[in-house]
Structure 1
């Protein structure tokens, strides 16, 4: 298999297969990280430099008010899923935006996995730079995965893709956006 993405996906699928129950069928898998709720610099600029905010600023200066309803409280950011919901449970597991987790969909479950620690020899900075320059992913095999969270497959009712994020919708009414590579996310969303 020469396609590195296909090879890595095959490794992920094999590692997930180690945790499937007898007769359980694999449907799809993706790597996810937490979607931060902080607005990007571009979003802040669009909100702060929009016509409404400029008018508020001019009006505020005219009457001597330093700030008029702009700033972090006006961004309308999502406060997260309701406590106790399936989305909140999964969000608690995927709590660090810098650590990727595997999310697997089978015919009976949605399962979240984390990588387990594997002691490997360190690669030099030059080796890593050479891989990066050749646009080649890390050739090290995927280590073992450990299941850390799951819910019944029927509890996940929809998955949609928007701007590099997959939005999971659960039967209890909760939703959760997660960052994921779009190359595999389309297959995952279609499997839901």
Structure 2
């Protein structure tokens, strides 16, 4: 039996165990999520587990946590149809998608991932290292959501939805809350970020 087949069989076994508890996986009717999170696809950064809300977050994940049209449409659904009033853009240190954009030699098959990040890097004056670029990328995508001309952007600007940006440090387990008025276009160095411990996943 191949490793992939073994892994899949283990996944199915764990699925049955988890759903048997009734805490997640069984909810015939849609319910209001605690928050909507735009996060990276990296397996090290599972929002529902890190924030202690299994089954309670509306999670949109793609490499680089970019606010693409598809991501915005999904977040808009959470806000408009599920009455979510908190949207979080979650990046993480050592993001491979941001690293690929910085390297400028990513294969064309990754264009859909790196192009949105390239746009951010072009306008970034101090994104020479990966940590600065990851921070700038989160800020950039928060601004994109706020400036959205559709229902999501209108809800944020009207104050019906709170928009936050954060970075999970995969080296320390800390969450860096970018609580520095991201709704406005302040420079990164104007307001220091505050590191706080991430919730245990145990």
The answer to whether the superposition gives a TM-score over 0.5 is no
Q: Higher helix proportion, which one?
A: 2
Structure showing greater relative contact order (alpha-carbon pairs closer than 8 Å, 6 or more residues apart): 1
Please say which structure displays the higher CA radius of gyration. Answer: 1
For this structure pair, what is the TM-score category when the shorter chain's length is used for normalisation?
under 0.3
Give the TM-score, by structure 2 length: 0.22
**Structure 1 length normalisation: TM-score?**
0.23
Structure (1 or 2) with the greater strand fraction:
1
